[in-house]
Structure 1
Amino acid sequence: MKAITLGGERIECDELEEGRNGVVLSYADRVVGYVPYEQLACVAETRTPVASSSIRSIGYDDEEKALEIEFQSGGIYRYAEVAHSTYEAFLSARSHGSYFHENVRGQYDYRRVR
C-alpha cells in the first residue's frame, strides 16, 4: 500500500498503525514513516496479492502506465509504459512467474522501488 501526503509525497508501506495524531507506516517490520492526519491525503492499496512462488503482488498505475511487481524476495520494481491489457493478462495468468519471464522481463524499462 502507499500513503500519499497532501504535498504529494508517496510512502510505500505494507502496514500502517493509526495513532492519536497520525499514522505510523511500516515495511517489513521496520518503521518507514509517520504522517500526521492533517497532512494525509489518502492511503491506497497499490498491488494485488497473487499465488506464486516468485511474485508476492502485482499492481498497476493508470496515470503513469506503470506495472509494479513485488517479488517474494522483498524487491519491488516499477516497469514503465506497460499497457493495461498486459497488467490484466499478468493478473489472470496461470503462472505469474512464467508470464513475467515471457512478457515483462527484458521488455520494459524499470527501476527498483525497494
Structure 2
Amino acid sequence: MQAITEAGERIECEDVEEGDHGLLCYHGGRIVGYAPYEKLAYVAETRTPVASSSIRSVGYDSDGETLEIEFQSGGIYRYDDVPRETYEGLLGARSHGSYFHENVRGQYDYRRIR
C-alpha cells in the first residue's frame, strides 16, 4: 500500500498504524515513513495479492500504464507502458509466473523500486 501526502509524496509500506498526530508506515516490522494527518491526502492499496510461488502481489496504475509486481523474494518492480489487458491477463492467469515470463519479462522497460 502507499500513503500519499498532499504534496504527492508516496510512502511505500506493508502496513500502516494510526498515531496521535499522523500515520506510521511499516515494512518488514520497521517504520519506513510517517505522514502527519494534516498533510496526508489518502492511503491506497496498490497491489492485489495473488496465489503464486514466484509473485506475491500485482498492481496497476491506469493513468501511467504502469504495472507493479512484488515478487516472493521481496523485490518490487515497475514496468512502464503496459496495456491494461496485460495486467488483467496476469491477474486472471492460471499460472501468474508463467504469464509473467511469457508476456511481461523482457518486453517492457522496468525499474526496481525495492
TM-score (norm 2): 0.99
Match of 2:7 in 1: 7
Quote the Cα distance in structure 1 between the aligned partners of 2:111 and 2:31. 23
Alignment pair present for 1:110 and 2:110: yes
Structure 1 segments of 4+ aligned residues over 4 angstroms from their partners = none
Number of aligned residues: 114
Structure 1: tracts of 5 or more residues without a match? none
Aligned positions of 1:8-27 closer than 5 A? 8-27=8-27
What secondary structure does 1:81 align onto? coil
Offset at residue 81 of structure 1 (A): 0.1
Offset at residue 71 of structure 1 (A): 0.2
Offset at residue 63 of structure 1 (A): 1.0
Quote the Cα distance in structure 1 between the aligned partners of 2:24 and 2:63. 27
Quote the Cα distance in structure 2 between the aligned partners of 1:62 and 1:27. 25
Match of 1:64 in 2: 64
> Identity over aligned residues, as a percent?
70
Offset at residue 96 of structure 1 (A): 0.3
Aligned positions of 1:14-93 closer than 5 A? 14-93=14-93
